[in-house]
A and B are shown apart, each in its own frame.
Chain A
Amino acid sequence: MSPETYAQVSNLLIPTATVIYALAMVSHAMEWALGRAAVAKTAAVKEEVLVASDGATVSGGVGDVPDAPTVEEPASERLDAASRIGLLLTWLGFVLHLGGVVTRGLAAERVPWGNMYEFSITASLAVSIVYLIFVQRYKLQYLGLGVTFVVAAVLGLAALALYTPAGPLVPALHSYWLVIHVSAAAISGGAFTVGGLVSVLYLVKARAERRVLAGGTMSASLRRLPSAEAMDGTAYKVLAFAFPLWTFGVLVAGPIWAEHAWGRYWGWDPKEVWSLVTWVVYAAYLHARATAGWRGRRAATIAIVGWFVFIFNFVGVNLLVSGLHSYAGV
């Protein structure tokens, strides 16, 4: 196929993937809506939560409660079906999305991240990848709504507002270190996003659990979430996966590439500054988890701050601040 044909295929696949993700999102939204409708007041739920938090105090954050949701209950079949359909559609969207990114690369005859449009479609692909890798292992089904929302929104925005026709790179962007640097950054960005979403839900769930302990109730959709303790562990695992990768991408591959391209390893360019800030915030997250009084809620907040910093680095810095990292034809 010629580059033009690839470009056309890519331009067809990306919007289609966006629509499929949006449908997955609708499915997951229904899952939540169905769950919200049912409010539980069973004493059993309360008791189980008590056990969970007791278990946590016993082991003092050293041991852990198993991942299995503490508040298992006979959920309605429709609810489960909505969740499964959502995941299935996400897989379908992912396959199309992957195809769109690959054909884009073939069309441009290089790696598909030379400008904002391409980086958006590649970075959102990384979010899907990380989510789908971990969805079974860490039982992340509950994250479906968040993930499909983020991916569909980024893709939609890219297709509507950032679209740039495929073309070759400016010379400074030619280097295999670029490939290494950007893939590491994109995959860890995907993991930051997943970790951030889990942390948001952690905060919601932890609040709900505290309410239940105080005699309140919890909606069925929140009960379907794993225990706050388990989610805290999941966020940690995902971010622990991301942190070394980010360290490598930003503090090893990035400087090596910058040295090749611009003749200096580190120049306090806005993009470099914000990458370092991201790194420091996640280092703080890992420290916070090991510091008495900072576990749980505060650590989750730091994880969310880190995610925002990462997003700002990717979006805000490109659009608001000028620097060497500005892409050809934003």
Chain B
Amino acid sequence: MSEVKDRIAAASGPEEPSGPPALGLVGWLRWTWRQLTSMKTALVLLFLLALGAVPGSLVPQTPIDPIKVSDFLEAHKTLGPLYDKLGLFDVYKSAWFSAIYLLLFISLIGCVVPRLSVYLKGLRARPPKPPRNLNRLPGYQRFELSEAGDVLEVATRELRKRRFRVEAYDGAVGAERGYLREAGNLLFHFSLILALVGVAWGSLFGYRGSVLVVVGNGFSNSVAQYDDFTPGRAFSGDDDLPPFSLTVKDFEVKFQEDGPQKGAAREFKAQLDYQETPDAPEKSYELQVNHPLKLDGSSVYLLGHGYAPRVTVRDGQGNVAFSGPAPFLPQDSNFASFGVIKAPDARPETLGFEGFFLPTAFIGENGPVSMFPDDLNPALVMTGYYGRPQPETGKPESVYQLDKSKLTQFEQKNGDKWRLQLAPGQSAQLPDKAGSITFDGYSRWVKLQISHTPGTGLALAGISLAILGLMGSLFVHPRRTWVRVREEDGRTVVEVAGLDRGPERGLGDEIQAITTALKPASSSTQEQP
């Protein structure tokens, strides 16, 4: 019986080696390798992986929400830098997290490759001889016969019928089945390697970027056109981007109009015209959440939407200083959207505006708010600033923020801050004949994400095979069975015994059934224990 244990131990790779050897470098390396690929190390590394993944869900992560990270750094003056040093703001790319999974990966390879060769050798092995004391096995039956006859041949046939591999011994047969368990287990671990390679491939050679496009405008796929862009480590630049371009023709959104979830988005879709390459014919596509547009390995997703008021600003000299849509960013679930309008070319003084676009405006006690996300009563509510023209610095500047350090806010005659509230089509004069601002109307914008993740097919195939292997590994149950005939005090005794690996799954029933098949109707059976 301990044979089975030995076989399992052998299949499980080297059992825990005892203390470090006093040998030289080679011995020491071999010892380290055996430690690394031992089952206990795998267990410890799995725990470390689980533990190590946790902080990333509790501490804000730079790749997910950089603003939260800077807020955190702002709020925790001592803890923040410490976290930063420990890589806690980017756990999944930190050195220590990578170390854990790389070690696990190495341990995995080091563990399963030797097991594969053990398994392949084991494939040709025959079911073992019966142990001396069959009656000590978990499943055991015996009965007596007047003469042995062909009972062993019947046993062989019966066991084969039950999909056992059978080997004849002197006065006995040995049988075994469930070889697929180890095969499944190996398939599982190897497929895991395959899946990990697929994932690594994707994170090395993939990219992801997002861009906000006002309806009516277009986008062509080059790094400079993205609002933000995250390349994989091995991504080499524009040459790796497929040369498609697209135009957002229209955008439609529906909101829940009543009930407790009033205002929740129910449906949104964008009409796109696109060209896969500059000379390809133009095609159209209806882009929806859950229905990305797939182009030559890259996929275009609809992530969000908002409003872009169209505004014309005239300066003090009567010239148009700004004209066009300015995307405003939604601040709440009713799409009260914040934004700025900059007119740095206005003369004699530059102009800037800051405030809200409200799709369904309502003047409440605490000022104007939006009551519903759809455009039922749109209004633009802003304040204005002026300042001296500044030389071009060439420094990149956020289009969503107004640098007010060199600007002065317009005031009314009575000293109150000047503010405007416009419905579409309306205009307002700025104080002191500084110019005017017209709310021409508004467009909608969509936020598109474009990403390419190679290797996902490999990862998916890996995981699917892994699940297949896992099922083999978990649901196939190796069983050994022996039938032996011997003389005992002049009587012929037939013994049937069996042994399972893993939890009990009807071993007794099968031994009973085999016994019944072997037994002539008249003889008596004893069961043990």
Contacts and interface: CB of A to CB of B under 8 A. Distances in A.
Contacts of A65: 138, 504
Contacts of A167: 256, 259-261, 264
Interface string A159-182: 000001101101110110000000
Contacts of B57: 268, 270, 273-274, 317, 321
Contact of A64 (B63, B290, B500): B500
B64 interface: yes
Interface string B1-37: 1101100100010011000000000000000000000
B87 to A, nearest CB: 14
Interface in A275-312: 276-277, 280-281, 283-284, 286-288, 290-292, 294, 309
Contacts of B40: 291, 294
A263 B451 contact: yes
A58 interface: yes
B138 A63 contact: yes
B501 A62 contact: yes
Interface in A256-282: 256, 259-270, 273-274, 276-277, 280-281
Interface in A113-163: none
Interface stretch (A10-18, A80-88, A186-194, A237-245): A237-245
Q: Which of B139, B199, B264, B290 has the most CB of A within 10 A?
A: B290
A171 B39 contact: no
Interface in B435-454: 449, 451, 453
Interface residues of A, number: 66
A170 B264 CA distance: 7
Interface stretch (B421-429, B464-472, B518-526): B464-472
Contacts of A168: 256, 261, 264, 266
Q: Which of A165, A237, A280 has the most CB of B within 10 A?
A: A280
A283 B46 CA distance: 8
B54 A273 contact: yes
Interface stretch (A38-46, A97-105, A216-224, A246-254): A246-254
A321 B58 contact: yes
Given A65-B504, A329-B260, A247 B1 contact: no
B470 A287 contact: no
Nearest to A263: B301
Interface residues of B, number: 73
Nearest to B303: A263
B465 to A, nearest CB: 11
Q: Which of B42, B139, B288 has the most CB of A within 10 A?
A: B42
B62 to A, nearest CB: 11
A171 B289 contact: yes
Contacts of A284: 43, 46-47, 50
Contacts of A287: 39, 42-43, 46
Interface string A55-95: 10011101111110000000000000000000000000000
Given A167-B260, A263-B292, A247 B136 contact: no
Interface of A: 51, 55, 58-60, 62-67, 164-165, 167-168, 170-172, 174-175, 230, 232-234, 236-237, 240, 243-244, 247-248, 251-252, 256, 259-270, 273-274, 276-277, 280-281, 283-284, 286-288, 290-292, 294, 309, 317, 321, 328-329
Interface of B: 1-2, 4-5, 8, 12, 15-16, 39-40, 42-43, 46-47, 49-50, 53-54, 56-58, 61, 63-64, 91-92, 136-139, 199, 202, 208, 256, 259-261, 264-268, 288-292, 299, 301, 303, 449, 451, 453, 456, 459-460, 463-464, 466-467, 470-471, 474-475, 499-504, 507-508, 529
Contacts of B471: 244
Given A268-B61, A290-B12, A328-B264, A273 B53 contact: yes
Contact of B2 (A60, A64, A240, A283): A60
A288 B43 contact: yes
Contacts of A251: 463
A268 B508 CA distance: 48
Contacts of A66: 504, 508
Nearest to A177: B290
Given A63-B507, A268-B64, A292-B15, 19 more contacts: A62-B499, A64-B500, A64-B507, A168-B261, A233-B502, A233-B503, A244-B471, A252-B463, A252-B464, A260-B292, A263-B449, A264-B451, A265-B453, A265-B456, A268-B56, A276-B53, A280-B49, A281-B46, A294-B40
